[in-house]
Amino acid sequence: MKSASSYLLALAKHNVQAYITNPKAKAAMVTGSAAEGQCDYYSDIDMSIYYEELPSEEELEIARLQNHGSERIWFLGDRSYGALVEAYFVNGVECQIGHTTIATWEQDMATILTELDVTSPMQKALSGILICIPLHGEELIQKWQSIAANYPDALAQAMVEKHLQFFPLWGLQQDYFATRDATLWQHQILVEAAQNILGVLSGLNRLYYSTFQFKRMGKFIEKMNIVPDNLSLRLESLFHTPTYSAANALQELVRETVELVELHMPQVDTSQVRRKLDSKRQAWKLLTY
């Protein structure tokens, strides 16, 4: 909703003033749905502020009061690490504000881009900085955007190899889950498989991806050039069809994803997942001796 997005962006620009008057603050941005113009009336504000040195608790309290903020809803972080996150309401809107030292943020970036930590939820932050709206210290933020935009080939391959693993749900008999009262496990397998498909395709398409609070799947898939046809609809339908049909649909999606890996990243070994694609688990029969 355009009106909701405009309102939250204006509120973010107002709220940030209480923080950037602190000389320790060197950059600030708004990201998430407010930056992308995709807000609705349940959306919150995601802001990040970067410092040479973290503000004191007293300085954070003063800034919150200047914004006429409520008591904190929650607070996370570790001063010794160099990152804190707080949330409070302003005019009924939840404002989530991250406070991070420049040194910590640049180390977090290096953990992904250089050390190839493909499981880090900080991939979400790297994705966010690419679509953010700078509110302060634009030159510094543009430097980080330039770094993040240069998605390393090694990271792409590491993402593909990490996520190229699937439990062969399609290889089980139709009554396998029913006789085991394993509905939760069945859905867990579907969720993990869907996440791994997206993880593989994220590597192929050089997109930052984290399962942490993953939302707007359709918009994310729209950014992909290398992708199975109608992926968004097909992933969604996995969770709205009977188990056996979902298993067969998943098998075909995995098969198409593996073919894309072999076409666009042939150096990746797909033999193991290929073997699972053809696996079938048969029930054994009781024999009399």
Amino acid in the structure at residue 74 = W
CATH number of 2-150: 3.30.460.10
Residue with tokens 């080939």: 153
Return the pLDDT at 172: 75
Query: How many Å apart are CA 271 and CA 263, to the nearest integer?
Result: 14
pTM of this prediction? 0.91
Residue with tokens 């910590």: 104
Return the pLDDT at 66: 97
Q: Which residues of 253-268 are buried (b: 16+ CB within 10 A; e: fewer)?
A: bbeebbebbeeebeeb
Return the pLDDT at 173: 65
Pair of tokens at residue 45 = 């504000």
Return the pLDDT at 205: 98
Please tell me whether residue 25 adopts helix, strand or coil conformation: strand
Q: How many CB atoms lie within 10 A of CB 284?
A: 6
Return the pLDDT at 122: 93
Please tell me whether residue 247 adopts helix, strand or coil conformation: helix
Strands across the sheet containing 93-101: 74-78, 83-90, 93-101, 45-51, 25-31, 133-136
Torsion, Cα 150 154 159 160, to 10 degrees, reads 120
Query: How many Å apart are CA 204 and CA 262, to the nearest integer?
Result: 11
The CB-side HSE value for 67 (13 A sphere, CA atoms) comes to 33
Mean pLDDT by 10 residues, the chain (289 residues): 87 97 97 90 94 97 97 95 97 96 97 96 94 97 97 98 92 69 85 96 97 89 97 95 88 96 98 88 77
Quick one: 244 exposed, middle or buried, by C-beta within 10 A (0-12, 13-18, 19+)?
A: middle
Residue with tokens 């391959």: 157
Give CA separation, 210 vs 12, 117, 125, 203, in Å: 25, 11, 9, 12
Phi, psi (deg, nearest 5) at residue 157: -65, -40
